[in-house]
Amino acid sequence: MAAPKQSAKEPVRFIGGHRACAGCGYPVFLKQIFSSTKDPIVVVSATGCLEVTSTIYPYSAWKTPFLHNAFENSAATCSGIEGAYQSLKKQGRYDKNVKFLALGGDGGTYDIGLQSLSGAMERRHDMLYVCYNNEAYMNTGVQRSSATQLGAHTTTSPAGKVVLGKTERSKNLTEIMAAHELPYVAQTTIAYWADATSKFEKAWNTPGPKFVNVYSPCVPGWGYHMSQTVKMSKLAVETNLWPCYEVVDGVYKVTQKPKERKPIEELLKTQVRFKHLLKPENKGIVELAQKFIDQRFEHLLRMEKATNPEAK
């Protein structure tokens, strides 16, 4: 997949000086999002790591209109702004093209903000919602969310003698969004720049509601060295834990297919949150996790074959 053409003269919308952890994924995908359109963008962000570390009063890393709202209503707030914009255009009081971006972590998207997100998508607002999925409530102390992987150690699903981490599999939110019959839905990760920017460019150029789920590694929450963020993202794709795919008007396409799928142990052994699963007595949990991963990827391949017979 060829990367979209980009120019050094494109507007700078997010600058250095923010307080994100070294190795954090979100500054990377923001560059991918912003480099994929030249139109003005209004950004709405739920409370979370991204908002807290980029807007420490009296400073801000944002060079574009930015609105912070509550944990649970990023999508609702963005839909209200987009609705006001559409009204002004119909009245002839505003004629510029403006794009609208709502941001939320997995806590503010998979859990607390799901109702708000579903409503905005059902009302067909012309906006892009991007979830930065680091698989836990990282900003408030690494508590488990419904995006957290099976067996992961968090402060509210601690690995001990009785319970070996989170006991439930992660929610498949991207498929929930596809079930809303949106014109564009996608999953990507920061490690594949061309894949991510191509999807964001498609999303920006698609009228109506769009949703992109980004796998965004977290150094302190996952427990790995800050230099390995891209590696974490690649391993998620190479093990099929996080397939990169898109759904365009109901047509599925898997955009990154590993030549040879790596076993999930290759990812587990790189992160402290999974170290307990590598003990021989916990082999059953790893096997169950592998089973869930394989089932989801096989489902994607079936959907691709059913909706897109020309896909390789």
Mean pLDDT of 99-108: 98
Percentage of the chain modeled with pLDDT above 70: 97
Of 15-19, 116-120, 130-134, minimum mean pLDDT range: 15-19
Burial of 44 (0-12, 13-18, 19+ CB in 10 A): buried
Asked if residue 19 is part of any domain, the answer here is: no
In whole angstroms, what is the distance from residue 309 CA to residue 99 CA? 33
- CA distance readout (Å), 180 to 65, 81, 250, 301: 28, 21, 10, 20
Instruction: For residue 7, tell me if it sits in a domain.
Output: no
Spell 137-160 as b/e; 16+ CB within 10 A means b: bbbeebbbbbbbbbbbbbeebebe
Model confidence pLDDT, tens digit, residues 148-202 = 999 999 999 999 999 999 999 999 999 999 999 999 999 999 999 999 999 999 9
Is it the case that residue 10 has pLDDT exceeding 80?
Answer: no
Residue 20 vs residues 55, 102, 214: alpha-carbon distances, Å? 11, 19, 17
Whole-number percent of the chain with pLDDT over 90: 94
In a domain, 46, yes or no: yes
Q: Taking 60 as the threshold, does the pLDDT of residue 1 lie above it?
A: no
| Structural domain includes residue 68 | yes
Q: In a 3-state reduction of DSSP, which class is residue 274?
A: helix
pTM of the shown model? 0.95
Q: Average pLDDT of 115-127?
A: 98
Residue 9 has a pLDDT of 66
Contact criterion met (CB below 8 Å) for 274 and 152: yes
Confidence check: pLDDT of 11 > 90: no
Mean per-residue pLDDT for 237-262?
97
Is 8 contained in some domain? Answer: no
CATH code, 84? 3.40.50.970
Q: How far apart are CA 43 and CA 73, in angstroms?
A: 13
CB 98 within 8 A of CB 64: no
Q: How many distinct helices (H) and strands (E) make up the chain?
A: 11, 8
Average pLDDT of every residue of the chain: 95
Whether residue 211 is contained in a domain is answered as yes
- DSSP 8-state code for residue 131: E
Assess if residue 193 is contained within a domain. Answer: yes
Q: Is residue 15 part of a domain?
A: no
- Structural domain that includes position 80: 26-307
Count of domains for the chain: 1
- pLDDT score of 7 more than 80: no
Q: Which amino acid is at 62?
A: W
Q: Please say if the pLDDT value at position 23 is more than 50.
A: yes
List the one residue out of 43, 75, 64 whose CA is nearest residue 210: 75
Instruction: Indicate the angle between helix axes 74-90 and 114-122, nearest 10 degrees.
Output: 30
Q: Could you give the CA distance from residue 51 to residue 103 in angstroms, rounded to a whole number?
A: 9
Looking at residue 221, its pLDDT comes to 97
Query: For residue 231, is pLDDT > 90?
Result: yes
Report yes or no: 117 and 173 within 8 Å, Cβ to Cβ: no
pLDDT (tens digit, 9 = 90+) per residue, 265-298? 999 999 999 999 999 999 999 999 999 999 999 9
pLDDT at 250 over 70: yes
Confidence of residue 4 (pLDDT cuts 50, 70, 90): very low
